[in-house]
Chain A
Amino acid sequence: MKLKVENMKVALSKKDIISDINLSAEEGEFLSVLGASGCGKSTLLKAIAGMLPLKEGSIFVDGKRIDHIPAHKRNIVLVFQDIRLFPHMTVAENIAYALKIKKIPPEGRDAKIKSLLEQIKMEGLENRNINQLSGGQQQRVALARALAAEPKILMLDEPFSSLDENLRFDMRLLLFDIHKRYHMTTIMVTHNKDEALSMSDKIALMDEGRVIQSGSPEDIYENPINYKAAKYFGDASFFEGTVSKGKFNSPEFSVDCSLKEGKYILMVRNDAAELTEGDDFEFIQRVYTGNEEEYVYQHGETGSKIRCRNNSKKTDSLPVKASICLKREKLRYYKISSS
Chain B
Amino acid sequence: MIKKAVPYILLAPLIALLLILLLAVANSLLQGLGYMPALGLNKISLDYYREVFSNPEFSASLLLSLYISLISTIFSVAIGVLICASLIKTKKAEKFYRNVLRIPILTPHIAVALFVVIIFSQSGILSRICYQLNIINEINEFPNIIYNRKGIGIILGYIWKEAPFVAYFVLSFMESISVSYEEAAINLGASPIRSFFSVTLPLSMPAILNAAFIIMIFSFGAYELPFLLGVTKPKALPVQAYIEYSHPDLRHRPYAMAENGVMILVSLVMAALYFYLWRKKSDGIRKSYDK
Mark A residues whose CB is within 8 Å of B: 49, 51, 71-73, 75, 77-78, 80, 82, 84-88, 97-98, 101-102, 129-131, 145-146, 149
Question: Which A residue sits closest to B203, measured CB to CB?
Answer: A88
In the assembled complex, how far is the CB of residue B150 from the closest CB belonging to chain A, in whole angstroms? 37
Question: Which B residue sits closest to A135, measured CB to CB?
Answer: B291
Chain B: interface residue count, which band?
Answer: 20 to 34
* A130–B288 CB distance below 8 A: yes
Contact of B188 among A88, A101, A130, A131 (CB under 8 A): A101
Mark B residues whose CB is within 8 Å of A: 180-181, 183-192, 194-195, 198-199, 202-203, 284-285, 287-291
User: Which residues of A sit under 8 angstroms from B191, Cβ to Cβ?
Assistant: 72
Query: Bound complex: CA of A84 vs CA of B287, how far in Å?
Result: 14
* A84–B184 CB distance below 8 A: yes
Contact of A51 among B183, B194, B199 (CB under 8 A): B183
User: Which residues of A sit under 8 angstroms from B198, Cβ to Cβ?
Assistant: 97
* B187–A88 CB distance below 8 A: no
Query: Bound complex: CA of A78 vs CA of B185, how far in Å?
Result: 10
Enumerate 9 A-B pairs (CB-CB under 8 Å) in ascending A order. Answer: A51-B183, A51-B187, A75-B189, A77-B187, A77-B188, A84-B180, A86-B184, A87-B181, A130-B288
* B187–A78 CB distance below 8 A: yes
Contact of B287 among A78, A85, A131 (CB under 8 A): A131
* B289–A87 CB distance below 8 A: yes
In the assembled complex, how far is the CB of residue A95 from the closest CB belonging to chain B, in whole angstroms? 10
Query: Bound complex: CA of A86 vs CA of B199, how far in Å?
Result: 7
User: Which residues of A sit under 8 angstroms from B290, Cβ to Cβ?
Assistant: 131
Whether A97 contacts B284 in the complex (CB less than 8 A), given A72-B192, A82-B180, comes out as no
Question: Which A residue sits closest to B284, measured CB to CB?
Answer: A129
Question: How many inter-chain contacts with C-beta < 8 Å in the A-B complex?
Answer: 67
* A71–B202 CB distance below 8 A: no
In the assembled complex, how far is the CB of residue A89 from the closest CB belonging to chain B, in whole angstroms? 9
Contact of B184 among A80, A102, A130 (CB under 8 A): A80
Whether A71 contacts B187 in the complex (CB less than 8 A), given A87-B285, A130-B288, comes out as yes
Query: Bound complex: CA of A35 vs CA of B204, how far in Å?
Result: 36
* A72–B186 CB distance below 8 A: yes
User: Which residues of B sit under 8 angstroms from A88, Cβ to Cβ?
Assistant: 202-203, 284-285
* B181–A131 CB distance below 8 A: no
Question: Which A residue sits closest to B189, measured CB to CB?
Answer: A101
User: Which residues of B sit under 8 angstroms from A145, Cβ to Cβ?
Assistant: 188
* B188–A98 CB distance below 8 A: yes
Query: Bound complex: CA of A302 vs CA of B289, how far in Å?
Result: 53
Query: Bound complex: CA of A145 vs CA of B189, how far in Å?
Result: 12
* B194–A101 CB distance below 8 A: yes
Highest count of chain B CB atoms <10 Å: which of A73, A82, A88, A129: A88
In the assembled complex, how far is the CB of residue B153 from the closest CB belonging to chain A, in whole angstroms? 39
Question: Which B residue sits closest to A132, measured CB to CB?
Answer: B287
User: Which residues of A sit under 8 angstroms from B192, Cβ to Cβ?
Assistant: 72
User: Which residues of B sit under 8 angstroms from A78, Cβ to Cβ?
Assistant: 187
Question: Which B residue sits closest to A102, measured CB to CB?
Answer: B189
* A49–B187 CB distance below 8 A: yes
Question: Which A residue sits closest to B194, measured CB to CB?
Answer: A101
User: Which residues of B sit under 8 angstroms from A51, Cβ to Cβ?
Assistant: 183, 186-187
Question: Apart from A87-B288, A98-B189, A101-B189, what are 14 other A-B pairs with CB-CB below 8 Å?
Answer: A51-B183, A72-B187, A72-B192, A72-B195, A78-B187, A84-B183, A85-B288, A86-B181, A86-B185, A88-B284, A101-B194, A102-B189, A145-B188, A146-B188
In the assembled complex, how far is the CB of residue B185 from the closest CB belonging to chain A, in whole angstroms? 7
Contact of A71 among B180, B186, B287, B291 (CB under 8 A): B186
